[in-house]
Structure 1
Amino acid sequence: MGMMKEFKEFAVKGNVIDLAVGVIIGGAFGKIVDSVVGDLIMPLVGAVIGKLDFSNLFLVLGNVPPGTATTLDALKKAGVPVFAYGNFITVAVNFAILAFIIFLMVKQINRLKRSEPAPAPAPAAPPEDIVLLREIRDSLKK
């Protein structure tokens, strides 16, 4: 029974819930980045380089059976080893964009934290002899 109570306390803590929300938002954000890369950036890069579809950039590493189509999917289904560097290019661009966006977000958060004024430091406590002299002075004023 103690273990269930401990698990419940762990699961209900704000940090775990914040982490779960972060994972869900991160998954959705990853899909947005995939779309930006696949639908916006890679076609532009492909237009400059001359290829519009990076996913079909590959090298065949084995023998192709007769009658097999030469597309990446068909070769993979036929069990032909292929070096699919086009997919890697797309994933690398996704990573670079995602890393850059996260960098900008962290930079902005750090800038906002720095812009908050630092609280004024508490005045140092006076030495004991000064406190005693003030007490004597205050008692003489009475």
Structure 2
Amino acid sequence: MNDHVQAYAEVAAVLQVYFDGLHHSDTDRLSRVFHPQAVYATASADLPLILRMDEYYPIIDARPSPASRNEVRTDRIDSIEFVGPVTALAKLRCSIRPRHFIDILTLIHVEKRWQIIAKVFHFDAERPLAT
């Protein structure tokens, strides 16, 4: 396997752990793929929200998991691009109802593995059905 194919497979495997961690609200899984100093950011709710992992994980721990609500998974990798031998950018889609997310993840290869160093995302919320 050439280096590029191997790197792509390694990043895709990290992204699958990421998807599984979100679906199960499992911060143990997520901590295996996020760098401890990673940044979580969005401006989808008007004002910027910027957190570090020690602020983000309690939010995940406090919410019911999509798996516990039998939500259908919508996980999808739109693209993985390599900016160099130790930097990658991934565009993903997933849902945690009622929100549908587009995530842009920056990954770095440190400590002999790929880790997410930044998560910047946009979400759209479902509108309630009219009664």
Superposed pair shares fold, TM > 0.5: no
TM-score by length of 1: 0.26
Structure with bigger gyration radius: 1
- Which structure has more helix as a fraction of its residues? 1
The structure with the largest strand share of the pair is 2
State the TM-score, normalized to the length of structure 2: 0.28
Higher relative contact order (CA 8 A, sep 6+): 2
